[in-house]
């Protein structure tokens, strides 16, 4: 492991004014997104859609530091034969790859999940590195609520096994000279309030960093991708933008070592503008030990997907929509976004 090189990539991923595009939707997930815009989820259509994003010159060169790809995409070529990975590199962005293989039910913990994919991961990472990937992503899923057996979740069992898997993945990545994005996501589904989210996320982050230390993961060569402290979608009491910002920063300061170069938030089901406003408010607080940016999927892609709708004549409109959302979040990553700029640029 060359930690200096890993750190160089990690720092570039969270450079001020840029963030990460999560274009790593599984085949099932992107089918749902395409169904919503009445586009058939064929290999060619998926390729055309992602090529549209990667050829958005202004967005990719000015606002996107890295792109998380799916296994299918990292092997695909654009219509003119150029590998999609090369399009990303030519824009000055860093290619990455999702390496987890989804979730399965956790034995003896009804309603809870564990992320799988560690088997043969070392071999897969070598192949992805050879294809151009310089960072990877693994997502753990932690739910808040009542399990199917009526018990309160998450259990410490679910937190521990997912934190252990994240740490094993991160160690394997660094051994392969790939920067790991460590993503422990506490879901915002449910009717819990922001304080319950804070409490669970604190436990999850503390256990994750404990496991990272056990696995001897170099914190300087990784990126954290957490959820924000937010109210559940079904909560009767929705926290304000300022409360989300203040409690998320307090949470992170209590759990995340300063050695971590940066934190790239997931949007987790927030609306486009909510995700931007929350990120901006956190950066406006200032005096933080790590860089805060975005690693959004739906919050960057919902608008361009709708504008594109699978039609070649709509490519320019889709690229404008993508550039707008990337620009707004780039501003938020330095605390310079305002609702006036949002409306003016729309």
Positions marked catalytic: 183, 225
Distance of alpha carbon 53 from alpha carbon 64, whole angstroms: 11
Longest alpha-carbon distance in the chain: 55
Q: Which residues of 283-307 are buried (b: 16+ CB within 10 A; e: fewer)?
A: beeeebebbbbbbbbbbbbbbbbeb
Residue 77 and residue 96: Cα distance in Å, rounded? 16
Instruction: Report phi then psi at 311, rounded to 5.
Output: -110, 130
Three-state SS string over 129-190 comes to HHCCCCEEEEEEEECCEECCCCCEECCHHHHHHHHHHHHHHHHHHHHCCCEEEEEEEECCCC
Which DSSP string do the residues of 99-133 spell out, in sequence order?
Answer: ----EEEPTTSTT-EEE---TTHHHHHHHHHHTT-
Q: Write the burial class of residue 152 (CB in 10 Å: 0-12 exposed, 13-18 middle, 19+ buried).
A: exposed
Burial class (CB in 10 A: 0-12, 13-18, 19+), 26: middle
């Amino acid at each position: 492991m060359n930690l200096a090189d890993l750190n160089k990539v990690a720092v570039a991923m969270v450079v001020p004014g840029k963030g990460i595009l999560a274009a790593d939707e599984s085949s099932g997930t992107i089918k749902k997104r395409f169904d919503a815009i009445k586009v058939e989820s064929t290999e060619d259509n998926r390729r055309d859609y992602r090529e549209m994003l990667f050829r958005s010159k202004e967005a990719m060169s000015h606002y996107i530091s890295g792109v998380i790809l799916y296994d299918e995409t990292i092997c695909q070529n654009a219509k003119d034969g150029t590998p999609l990975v090369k399009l990303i590199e030519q824009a000055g962005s860093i290619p990455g790859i999702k390496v987890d293989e989804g979730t399965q039910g956790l034995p003896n913990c009804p309603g809870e999940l564990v992320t799988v994919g560690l088997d043969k991961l070392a071999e897969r990472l070598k192949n992805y590195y050879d294809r151009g990937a310089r960072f990877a992503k693994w997502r753990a899923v932690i739910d808040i609520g009542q399990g199917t057996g009526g018990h309160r979740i998450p259990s410490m069992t679910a937190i521990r096994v997912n934190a252990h898997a994240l740490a094993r993945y991160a160690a394997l990545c660094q051994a392969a000279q790939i920067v790991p994005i460590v993503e422990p996501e506490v879901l915002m589904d449910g009717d819990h309030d922001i304080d319950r989210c804070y409490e669970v996320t604190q436990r999850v982050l503390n256990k994750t960093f404990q496991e990272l230390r056990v696995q001897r993961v170099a914190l300087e060569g990784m990126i954290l991708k957490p959820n924000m402290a937010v109210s559940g979608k079904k909560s009767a009491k929705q926290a304000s933008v300022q409360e989300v910002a203040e409690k998320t920063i307090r949470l992170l300061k209590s759990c995340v070592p300063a050695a971590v170069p940066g934190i790239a938030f997931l949007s987790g089901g927030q609306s486009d503008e909510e995700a931007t406003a929350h990120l901006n408010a956190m950066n406006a607080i200032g005096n933080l030990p790590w860089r805060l940016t975005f690693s959004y999927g739906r919050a960057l892609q919902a608008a361009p997907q709708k504008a594109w709708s699978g039609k070649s004549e709509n490519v320019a409109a889709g690229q404008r929509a993508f550039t707008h959302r990337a620009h707004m979040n780039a501003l938020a990553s330095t605390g310079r976004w305002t609702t006036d700029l949002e409306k003016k640029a729309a």
